[in-house]
Amino acid sequence: MAPVALVTGAAGGLGEAIVRALAAAGFTLGLGYHRASEATERLRQDLPRGDHFAVAAPVTDSAALASMAANVEARCGRCDVLVNCAGTTRFVAHADLDGLDDALFNSIFAVNVRGAFAAVRALKSLLERSDLPGGGVVVNISSIASVIAMGSNVAYCASKAALDNMTRSLARALAPRIRVLAVAPGLVDTEFVKSLDQAWRDEQAARTPLARLARPQEIAAAVVAAVTQLTFTTGSIIAVDGGRPLN
């Protein structure tokens, strides 16, 4: 049977690119979703032939994630890769402390940090059984916001810094059977970003040494490389940011 990869937030702009790249690399895909069940099913149907499947994976619900893991085991008997791509945020100016209310702050950390941990916890026993070169793999989708402290809001930046730290902690804790890495994009030119103000997008590109935004396919390629090529790498944060922190 083909190796199995479970991607949370599969129907999002980055999630879709990652799903397509892993499917092209020969993986059977579990497409995790919370509310976007219809979009996820459309994506599944559009993938190359294979035993791909959509599965409910609301990362803030640990009981539901346990059911998801049981579903994956019953269907596939294995899970070799987990990509934690589910995330949430909302634009709030960093100086607007009142605009970043407790509910939004808690929601961002619940999804971006606790949710990633809960998904690893749910799939740990399956990932430990993987016979991939280098063992099972967790790839957390982070952001350069964790380094430059610039992003959609203060809590989002802090959540990605926490995710990077957790990546290193889990890499130590789960070795040698499971490798844990993070891929940290700069601003990615997803359909959502393309809908934003063109002058703002041009400014972001101009601040990047490589003078453009990242393409979703470039983030997906880094995920595939982390899984299939970097078999002696764990605990690393792989930047795909065009050199943005250099400015």
Question: Which tokens go with 218?
Answer: 């470039």
Helix (H, G, I), strand (E, B) or coil at 188: strand
User: 28-46: b or e for each residue (b if 16 or more CB lie within 10 Å)?
Assistant: bbbbbbbebeebbeebbee
Q: In this structure, are residues 185 and 241 in contact, taking their beta carbons and an 8 Å threshold?
A: yes
For residues 226 and 209, give the distance between their C-alpha atoms in angstroms, rounded to a whole number: 24
For residues 166 and 211, give the distance between their C-alpha atoms in angstroms, rounded to a whole number: 31
- Strand stretches in the chain, DSSP E: 4-7, 28-33, 53-56, 81-84, 136-141, 178-185, 237-240
Catalytic-residue membership of 156: yes
- For the chain, the residue count is 247
Catalytic residue among 4, 156, 163, 179: 156
For residues 131 and 195, give the distance between their C-alpha atoms in angstroms, rounded to a whole number: 42
* 185 beta partners: 240
**Hey, which residues are catalytic here?**
156
